[in-house]
Structure 1
Amino acid sequence: MTDSPAVPPAADPAATRPATDAVAAADRALKTKHRAVWASGDYPTLASELIWTLGPVVVDSVDVQPGDRVLDVAAGSGNAAIPAALRGGTVVASDLTPELFDVGRRRAHEAGVELEWREADAEALPFENAAFDAVVSCVGVMFAPHHRQAAGELLRVTRPGGRIGLLSWTPDGFIGQMFTTMKPYAAPLPEGAEPAPLWGDEGHVRELLGDDVDEVSARRESVTIDRFASPEAFRDYFKQNYGPTIAVYGRIADEPDQVRALDDALVELARSHGLRAAGDTMRWEYLLVTARRT
């Protein structure tokens, strides 16, 4: 008779708790930082002036019908949530940064619709399984740092047969290239975090959603931007209004050579995408992915 294999002793919960607590504390600190980034500047104005038309694009893509339960993840001030409500959906607009909700509430009131505004982390949504007929995000969930966690939550809260619609900036498009331009001046990504523009890569999104969806459609399109009179005007607008740009400049504020280099790089980026003078337009590429929850 052979000896039984040795059975390792049960893990001591107290021994693993410090590591678990440290991970949880680091995640809370990261989310606090993200909230502060998006609360800085004036994202609602930027969203309204530049990309408000993208909300209806993602809402139309999942064909929101009257009475549908709709969740807008990382909703900001309601680019997609308000159009979904205008189509008759029962809508929840969720975001990690509730400072953006006041503008959203005002715009919803002006549009004559009511919806629920809910503070929520895209990586830990406070909703029951299969709670929604349609789940959408318009250049929002892409900024959650842990892509697989966020995708898992999108899938979890969508009912079987429900629709998912995601609109994200592509890595090769203008905004993706803007993040590439800012990267040398930005803080390194935390361990386990992935670059936001990966959500604009079809293969990456298909991998994230996996076998939990079918009827997947992905197409690249672009929004036309004619807001800026010069490359310098673009740069200064983003320095004033866009949280991620504000954060990068804040990090190098005490290094004037770095500030000048980033100033020049953003101006050159805008020039390379066709902006040279008033009347010029740029085209900012995005990926629109739709899928049905199996």
Structure 2
Amino acid sequence: MTSTLALDGIKAKQQKTWASGDYGAVAALIHPMAELLVQSADLSYGARVLDVAAGTGNASLAAARCGCDVLATDYVPALLDRATDRAMAERLPLSIQEADAEALPFGDGEFDAVLSVVGVMFAPHQEVAAAELARVCRPGGTVALANWAPDGFIGGLFKTIGRHVPPPPGISPPPLWGSPDRLRELLGGSFELTITPRDFVFRFASAAGLADFFKEHYGPTLKAFEALGDNGKALYDDIVALADSSNVATDGTLKVPSRYVEVVGIRR
């Protein structure tokens, strides 16, 4: 059992991780996941929508395009600032508020829909985060999540990183949120769930190009390389090998499908 104090320390470290690099560059690649999720969620015009661990606002903007009243939350203010800039550029209404996914500062049943795209899955205390999603969603409302799966490329990337920089003890791996069995444990008591496996395809010129991109932009990878210092070459080579082994392109480029699950639930 990991203590509350230890979890708080992990969370503070996570905040620094997601504030590092340029998560916006990664979010720009995976934006189609949010658009697809929001369509699957079948949100109604004017619905009150909460985006949890919104990052730079992929799901928030997708919901705003549907005419929803959207509030984007995250515990990294710089990411929310980016979401605001994007909303202004697209002339979409969007509210933002700094908030922790494990302690949402909202009333019970306050929202018609609660969204998260590869966001809430990184909360260190999974049961608490899941309970918060359920608490703020009204009866009959919708939860809609997109979570990287353990057996996909990003799941493999985290396993690869963990072999070089072990995660804190007692913390469940984030990609468990992409396991149907684990999702039913976390959310099945509060929601009637529909879980759909999907693939997002990363496209780069080469496996080295993918490794370079994640090393520079993606906080967890960037911080792993920082921790390894001069010993980072082995991690780099393993990421290249993982990308090469996952490549389905036949034209000399790189196309890497990464399995994720799309989760849509109706609040009981």
Tell me how far 1:60 sits from its aligned partner.
1.4
- The alignment's C-alpha RMSD in Å is 1.6
Q: TM-score, normalised by structure 1?
A: 0.87
Residues 10-25 of structure 1 correspond to what in structure 2 (within 5 A)? 23-25=3-5
Most deviating of 136-145 and 278-287: 278-287
Once the 2 structures are TM-superposed, how far is the Cα of residue 188 of structure 1 from its aligned partner?
2.7
Cα deviation, residue 64, structure 1? 1.3
Q: Is the 8 A contact 1:234 1:270 kept in 2?
A: yes
- Aligned partner of 1:75 in structure 2 is 54
Contact 1:230/1:275 (<8 A) preserved = no
Letter in 2 for 1:83: A
Partner Cα separation in structure 2 for residue 41 and residue 231 of structure 1? 20
- Alignment match of 1:35 (pick from 15, 20, 30): 15
The change in CA–CA distance for 1:25 and 1:189 in structure 2 (over 3 A counts) is closer
Q: Which runs of 5+ in 2 are unaligned?
A: none
2:199 to 222, 240, 249: 222
* Distance in 2 between residues matched to 1:68 and 1:207, nearest whole Å: 27
**2:115 is aligned with 1:136:** yes
| 1:236-280 CA-partner distances (Å, limit 9, x unpaired) | 111100000011111111xx3x31211110010010011787533
Q: Which runs of 4+ in 1 moved over 6 A?
A: none
Give me the whole-angstrom Cα distance separating, in 2, the residues matched to 1:224 and 1:244: 20
Report the structure number with the largest CA radius of gyration. 1
Alignment of 1:200-279 (within 5 A): 200-214=178-192, 216-226=193-203, 228-253=204-229, 256=230, 258-274=231-247, 279=253
| Contact 2:207/2:254, CA 8 A, preserved across alignment | no
Residue identity (%): 42
SS of structure 2 residue aligned to 1:211: coil
Shift of 1:25: 4.0
Q: Find the residue that maps to 1:94 and give its secondary structure.
A: strand
Task: Determine the C-alpha separation between the residues in 1 that align with 2:241 and 2:202.
Answer: 17
Measured in 2, the distance between the counterparts of 1:263 and 1:51 equals 22
Listed as ranges, the gaps of 5+ residues in structure 1 are 1-21
Q: TM-score, normalised by structure 2?
A: 0.95
Once structures 1 and 2 are overlaid, which stretch shifts more, 56-65 or 85-94? 56-65
TM-superposed CA distance for 1:184, in Å, is: 1.5
Distance 2:24 2:155 in 1: 20
Give the one of 238, 259, 262 matched to 1:285.
259
Q: How many matched pairs?
A: 266
Q: Which residue of 2 aligns with 1:95?
A: 74
